[in-house]
Amino acid sequence: MTTKKQKLKPNCYNKLPRKVSQNEFNTFIKPCLTKAKSRQPNISYYKIFNYILYVLRTGMQWDELRPYRKEISWQAIYYHHNKWSKDGSYKRLFEHSIVTLDALGKLDLTILHGDGSNVVAKKGANKSVTAGTNIRKEKKY
């Protein structure tokens, strides 16, 4: 008798989630999102959020999104994504996630990576702030 060993999948936390469960959405995400005052959606915010995750994961254009049985238009989904981006809902969600993970002891701060690709460089500066690194050759008078 031979038995097949099941392969254990390692936990991967560095990928975008494909879908969020209803319980996870109600517990962690929904409290951070603002609700529409003028435009109430025909479907739940849970489905809208999962459509947004799908677009972000696949990298598709918004107008190529085809919701299931045309339950909502891509414009309405984009409206909520744009609103949540501008009103700080995603920022609150990120901050809430950090606090929750830290409280549960699941936040690993042993390695932190900084991204310096968005640092503004002064065009007229002769010297760099970092010692020993010149941006341009100094002018001799």
At 28 the three-state DSSP class reads helix
Domain boundaries, the chain: 22-104
What pLDDT does 37 receive? 79
Question: What are the structure tokens assigned to 20, written together?
Answer: 């969020």
> What pLDDT score does 128 carry?
55
pLDDT at position 113, please? 72
So what's the pLDDT on residue 137? 59
| Residues near 34 by beta carbon (within 8 Å), at least 6 away in sequence | 83, 84, 87, 89
Looking at residue 51, its amino acid is Y
Q: What are phi and psi of 96, to 5 degrees?
A: -65, -40
Q: How does pLDDT run along the chain (141 residues), one tens digit per residue?
A: 555 555 555 555 555 567 888 998 999 999 999 987 777 888 999 999 999 999 998 899 999 999 888 889 999 999 999 999 999 999 999 999 889 888 988 888 787 777 666 656 666 655 555 665 555 656 665
What's the predicted TM-score (pTM) here?
A: 0.65
b/e sequence 74-113, b meaning 16+ C-beta within 10 Å: bebbbebbeebeeeebeeebeeeeeeeeeeeeeeeeeeee
CA distance from start to end of the chain: 88
